[in-house]
Amino acid sequence: MAVASLAHDAHGDADQLYIETRELRLQGFLLFLVSDCVLFSSFIFAYLYLRNSGQGWPPPGIHRLDVAFAAWNSVVLFGSGATMHYALENYKHGHWMRYMWFLLATIVLGAGFLGGQAYEYTHLIYGEHVTWSGSGIFGASFFTLTGMHGLHVFFGVCYLSVLVLQSAAGVYTRGKYFGITAGTLYWHFVDVIWVVLFSIFYLI
C-alpha cells in the first residue's frame, strides 16, 4: 500500500496546509533540538568545571574508563547515524524498500548501542563498584549524562519504530514526510551529543 502511495505521489501531493506549515514545523523542531542542546551543555559544563576543580581525575579509588569497548560501542551509534541518513535519502528518491531496510538497520544499531551501554553499566556497578550516588562527582556525572543520553537514544528507537509502522501504513508520501526528516534530525543530534560525551569521559 505504501509503495503504491509513493508511486501515486511521484509528483508530490502535499496539500496547501502542509506546504505552508512545513517550515514552521522544521523551525519548531530545530528549536526543540537547540533546547535539548542547552540541557546537555549545562550538565557537560558542570561536569568539566567539577572535574577541573578537584584534585586529580578520576578521584582516588576509581579506575579510568576503558576506551576500547566504548570506541566500539560509539561506532555502532555513529553507524546508525549513517544508516539513518541513507534511509532519508532513499525515501526522498522513492526507493521504499531500501528506506525500510536502512531504517530497520538504524533501529537495530540503536538498540545495540543501548545493550552495550547496559553492559558497561553492569561492569561498572558490579565490577568496579562505581555507582550514581556512592562514587562522588565522577559517578554522579557519568551516570547522569550517559543515562540522559541513553534515554534519548531509547526514545529515538521508539520514534523510529513508530516511523516503520507509519511508513508501512502509508502515512508518508513523497511530498509529505516531515516525520521522517524530524526523525533523522533527532537521530543525528543524539549521535553528535555522543561525540561530545565520548570525548569528555573516555578520551581526555
Partner 1 sequence: MNIVLVERLGAIIAGIVVGVVAFYALYKDWQATGIENNVFKLMLFLLGIGAILALLAGLNVIGFAPPKGA
Residue 105 or 170: which CB sits closer to partner 1? Answer: 105
Asked whether position 203 contacts partner 1 by CB under 8 A, the answer is yes
The CA distance from 141 to 122, in Å, is 17
Asked whether position 132 contacts partner 1 by CB under 8 A, the answer is no
Asked whether position 117 contacts partner 1 by CB under 8 A, the answer is no
Asked whether position 40 contacts partner 1 by CB under 8 A, the answer is no
The CA distance from 148 to 201, in Å, is 14
The CA distance from 134 to 202, in Å, is 20
Residues of the chain by 3-state class (helix, strand, coil), percent to 5: 80, 0, 20
Closest contact distance (angstroms) between CB of 199 and partner 1 is 6
How wide is the angle at C-alpha 2 spanned by C-alphas 9 and 86, nearest 5°?
A: 85
Residue 94 or 128: which CB sits closer to partner 1? Answer: 128
Q: What single letter denotes the amino acid at residue 136?
A: G
Counting residues that bind partner 1 (by CB under 8 A) gives 36
Residues that bind partner 1 (CB under 8 A): 26-27, 30, 63-72, 74-76, 78-79, 81-82, 85-86, 89, 181, 184-185, 188-189, 191-192, 194-195, 198-199, 202-203
